[in-house]
Structure 1
Amino acid sequence: MLLDTPICDFGWQAPEFTLKDPDGTAFTMSEHLGDKGLLIAFICNHCPYVKAIADRLAADAKALQSEGVNVLAVMSNDYLSYTADSPEKMKKFSEQYGFTFPYLVDEDQFVGQAYGAVCTPDFFGFNKDGGLQYRGRLDSAAMGDPTDRVPELLNAMRQVAETGEGPRDQTPSMGCSIKWR
């Protein structure tokens, strides 16, 4: 089912969590909430919308990381019913697209629910204080031709890093519904 993300609830506080990557290394949200902010991307392996943007997400995330913005990706789908999203396949997906950020397993789906994530991809951009400042799409290309794209997420997170506030005009992300148990 195709869904759009809700409008950004500016200032909403990021709930704390600790999740593990497919190798069992734990990552805590607050430890990644740096001086320039934090991007949390709810993604999965099998969604055609995520596959369409994965290369661009990897490149934009790498650029943000080089500028001091931290990035975490969370996979909240029920991977027992959707085996393409299993931790083993998450690891391969991350390697395939050159992710330079942790790709975490939301085993009990608690984090996806706590954040109100609705689709993949669903992006949450927080300032250094953990206040939500971006809940939009990756870019203007979506599933289309990325050669003439506006990198909306990259631009928004750069603004958040510099000013602590995101742009007021945001276009919702679009993708497949999160597969809840």
Structure 2
Amino acid sequence: MLLDTPVCNFGWKAPDFTLKNAYGESFSMSDHLGDKGLLIVFICNHCPYVQRIGQRLAEDTALLMNEGINVLAIMSNDYTLVEADSPDNMKQFAKQYGFTFPYLIDEDQSVGQQYGAVCTPDFFGFNHQGELQYRGRLDDARMDDSANRIPELINAMRMIAETGQGPQTQVPSMGCSIKWRTD
């Protein structure tokens, strides 16, 4: 099911969490909330929207990380329902696209629920105080036209790093619905 993210709730405080990656290493949100902010992105392996932006996501986040903006990715899908999103497949997916950020498993789906994540990809850009300032999309590229794109996420995160505030106008991200457990 195709969904759009809701409008940014400016100033919403990010709840702390600790999640593990597919290798069993723990990462906490509070440890990654740096002086220039933090980007949290909810993604998964099987979503065609995430696959379509995978390379650009890897490049854009590497650029942000080089500028001191931290990045965490979270997979909240029920991977017992969608085998393609399993931890072993997360390792392969991250390697395939060259992700340099931690790619974390939200095993009980509590973080996705706390954040109100609705789709993959779903971007949350926080300032250094953990206040939400961006809930938009990666860029304005259509499915295959990325040559002349406007890198909206990069621009927003740079603005947040510099001023603590995100852009007032944001275009929602869209993607596949998160696969929530039904039991």
TM-score, normalising length from structure 2? 0.98
The 5 Å alignment of 1:50-89 reads 50-89=50-89
Distance 1:155 1:53 in 2: 17
- For residue 95 of structure 1, give the secondary structure of its aligned residue in structure 2: helix
- For residue 165 of structure 2, give the secondary structure of its aligned residue in structure 1: coil
Contact 1:37 1:126 in 2 (8 A): yes
**Counterpart position of 2:159:** 159
Distance 1:58 1:169 in 2: 24
Distance 2:10 2:173 in 1: 16
- For residue 148 of structure 1, give the secondary structure of its aligned residue in structure 2: coil
> Which 5+ residue runs of structure 2 have no aligned equivalent?
none
TM-score, normalising length from structure 1? 0.99
Distance 1:15 1:54 in 2: 26
Q: Find runs of 4+ consecutive structure 1 residues off by over 4 angstroms.
A: none
Against the structure 1 CA distance between its residues 111 and 87, is the aligned structure 2 distance closer, same or farther, given a 3 Å change threshold? same
Distance 1:117 1:9 in 2: 13
Distance 2:91 2:23 in 1: 8
> Which 5+ residue runs of structure 1 have no aligned equivalent?
none
Contact 1:160 1:166 in 2 (8 A): yes
The residue type paired with residue 167 of structure 1 is P
Distance 2:68 2:162 in 1: 11
Distance 1:177 1:144 in 2: 21
Shift of 1:144: 2.9
- For residue 63 of structure 1, give the secondary structure of its aligned residue in structure 2: helix
Identical pairs, percent: 71
What RMSD, in angstroms, separates the aligned Cα atoms of the two structures?
0.5
